[in-house]
Structure 1
Amino acid sequence: MKGLKNLNNNNSKCYIIAEMSANHGGKFEKAVEIIHAAKEAGADCIKIQTYTPDTITIDCDNEYFTINEGSWKGETLYSLYKKAYTPWQWQDRLKKEADKIGIDFLSTPFDKTAVDFLEDIEVEAYKIASFEVVDIPLIKYIASKGKPIIMSTGMATLDEITEAVNTIRKEGNNKIFILKCSSAYPSIPENMNLNTMIDMKKNFNVPVGLSDHSLGSIAATTAVAMGAKIIEKHFCLSREDDTADSFFSMEPNEFKEMVHNIRLAERAMGKINYEISEKEKISRSHRKSIFVVRDIKKGEKLTRENIRVIRPAQGLEPKYYEQVLGKVSKTDIKKGTPFTKDIISIEGD
């Protein structure tokens, strides 16, 4: 995952992750199709999730395990995760498919057995979901593997993020990337608070980014302009697909446009540079300068009526205008002539 290794470089390109999540709809062939579509749309990485309903929760329908609001209202946690999970027997094959076409493969484990499984299939990095920021034992176990860790921070307080980061570092792992995230589905602009991302970079001295659950690409492109080095976005083949995440996921053409806009934003940000470009040098010829705007006779005084600061730039610089007013011309000068030092010195006669 070369893209992750270079993110500490301020001039590195943003690393763009397409989150498959539940959008395969339980069909292996669709999962493969999503991987190819993500690659075609410009993603650097395809991400899945490694859990089963039984590793992430229990089969219970009492009040604690029932979702009472939002887009998944009425579901139990178990029933939702049963629909959404990616079968583990697929995952090695999906990774090999990603490797074959040249797109990075990443997964979010939700318990230690998932970490062990992902180690067996030789993943190169880990994602920690927002909901798991408080699972310190899990974070410690993931960190002990010594691989890069991307951690989303939706719902987390500064103290909770600090504890998670410190847990990773205590394991001798400093390969940390933190994503600002609003854990609402979909998120609205008022809840994005992208300035927090900048504060996290300052507080933890790590590359930062955005796990974006909002609709469209405005938040993602804005985040990149603010310094985000990672963008994660849910990805589906079509929002018409009846999956747990399709309603807030991005379709391939939209994702491709987002990638295009991010790359344009990166080009526009460029580097700190006060040098004049070749095209700007051409434009400089259309700056303002001092010009003769009415025929002037030898010995005639220079006034606001016969010389002015106008475009283009072939005359004396405008900063000398007040100094030359009232001086006497040494020669006849025609209207439209650039006013230069050869015509009259700054000091006058």
Structure 2
Amino acid sequence: MGARSYGDQQVRIGSREVGPGRPTYVIAEAGANHNRDLDTALRLIDVAAESGADAVKFQTYTAEGLYSRKTPTMSYLTDADLLENQESVFEMIKRVEIPWEWHDELAEHASRAGIDFLSTPFEEKAVDLLERLDIPAYKIASYEVNHLPLIERCAATGKPLIISTGMASLTDIERALDTANAAGASQLVLLHCAVNYPPRFEDLNLRAIGTLTSAFGIPIGWSDHTMGHTADVVAVALGASVVEKHYTLSRDQDGPDHPFALEPDELTAMVTAIREAEDSLGSSVKRVTEAEHELFRLGRRSLVAAGDIAAGKPLARADIAVKRPGYGIAVHELDRLVGKIASRDIEADEILTWDLFA
């Protein structure tokens, strides 16, 4: 695979420019944590808005469009005892799928809350529904990176595509991007992702954010399933333009996505930490900052009189002390100062300046 750009360096999602040098676009992933209760779904939107996230995201699918009834059960579901009454994975998905008639009210509620409304389509019919709502971008889940007809359908809308890349090789990603480009998409974002629920930190490989940036020349982000927000701050420091994170009203609720999701106060803390990380990255220029000016002047060392010095006396090394403040003769000029003649009497602890010497 040859390195080339698959799209623009800056992508517009709603009113936001997303890409290098722009604030991280934070997606609060509600997923299936609505519990098929509309009031819970609406409250999740409020929590996302209150946290400072840029977007709230649900998932639009049907069990029939997502799974064969013969799909074996994933071990993480059985290990965490997330299946009820020995139900199949198909039956579990049927139990947690979002009612499609909710979408209008959810989108309107998000608009009133001042947050972008997104939902991940898992089948082509879902794109038709979401197009009617005029969502600002489409998210392709890691599991769908090889669902080329879905990618083609989303790309044909002309909206930006955010493609997660968990479990994907560079060849998989290139194929997905080629498909999107061929369908007319140039506003593309990739999200590095480690698929497990939750994954181990040693499996995150966050340096792959740089690999994806070099390989594809488009904005790269991070879709996270870890607990806490350490990985999200690290991802931002490594250049992530988007961060996506699952959240819930309470991890004590039943459902497949609750156990690894952040609770409301933790989501707020994550967004705050991301904004602080962005501020702390600042500039690559090593300089004295405006905030340091006073202490640079008063807290660093310069040369002062070690004792009283009479006019006309040549300075010896013993006449010079290195003390604060820092606005006298610079310490690195000490050898040059030795032997200079005092042009007037100098008091002990007086800050030495060149105009005191002949």
**Would the TM-score normalized by the shorter structure come out above 0.5?**
yes
1:110 aligns with 2:122: yes
For residues 153-232 of structure 1, the aligned pairs below 5 Å read: 153-232=165-244
Cα separation, 1, equivalents of 2:35 and 2:104: 18
The aligned counterpart of 1:341 is 354
- 1:117-175 per-residue CA deviation (whole Å, 9 max, x = no partner) reads 22233322110001111222221221111111111111111121122122212222111
How many aligned positions are there?
341
Tell whether 2:29 aligns with 1:19: yes
- Give the one of 235, 247, 263 matched to 1:235: 247
In structure 2, the residue matched to 1:308 is 321
Secondary structure of 1:134's partner?
Answer: coil
CA RMSD of the aligned region, Å?
2.2
How far apart are the structure 1 equivalents of 2:72 and 2:200? Answer: 26
Give deviations 1:300-339, integer Å, cap 9, x for gaps. Answer: 4433322133221232112211222244545443221222
Tell me the secondary structure at the aligned position of residue 129 of structure 2: helix
> How many percent of aligned residue pairs carry the same amino acid?
38
- Higher RCO (CA-CA < 8 Å; seq separation 6+): 2
Query: One-letter code of the match for 2:322?
Result: V
1:291 matched to 2:316: no
Partner-residue secondary structure (3-state), 1:6 = strand
Whether 2:268 is the aligned partner of 1:256: answer: yes
Cα 1:314–1:270, aligned 2, differ >3 Å: closer, same or farther? Answer: closer
Q: Deviations over 1:53-84 (max 9, x none)?
A: 11001222xxx522234535876331231233
Matched position secondary structure for 1:267: helix
Residue number in structure 1 paired with 2:45: 35
Is the 1:50–1:85 Cα contact (8 Å) retained in structure 2?
A: yes
- Aligned counterparts of 2:198 and 2:133: Cα–Cα separation in 1: 32
3-state SS of paired residue (1:124): coil
Q: Is residue 67 from structure 1 mapped to residue 74 from structure 2 by the alignment?
A: yes
Report the alpha carbon displacement of residue 93 of structure 1 after superposing the two structures with TM. 2.1
Matched-pair contact (CA < 8 Å) for 1:67–1:76: no
Q: Secondary structure at the match of 1:146?
A: coil
Q: 2:7 maps to what in 1?
A: none
> How many Å separate the matches in 2 of 1:131 and 1:271?
37
Structure 2: state its 5+ residue gaps: 1-11
Query: Are 1:67 and 1:75, in contact at CA under 8 Å, matched by a contact in 2?
Result: no
Does structure 1 residue 7 correspond to structure 2 residue 14?
no
Structure 2 Cα separation of the partners of residues 298 and 29 of structure 1: 85
TM-score by length of 1: 0.90
Task: Give ranges in structure 1 of 5+ residues lacking alignment.
Answer: none
* One-letter amino acid of the structure 2 residue matched with residue 174 of structure 1: S
Amino acid at match of 2:98: T
Query: What corresponds to 2:3 in structure 1?
Result: none
Q: Deviations over 1:229-274 (max 9, x none)?
A: 2111111111111121110011111111111122222222334556
SS at match of 1:285: helix
Looking at structure 1, the residues matched to 174 and 164 of structure 2 have their Cα atoms a distance apart, in angstroms, of: 13
Instruction: Please give the alpha-carbon distance, in whole angstroms, between the structure 1 residues aligned to 2:176 and 2:236.
Output: 24
What does residue 8 of structure 2 align with? Answer: none
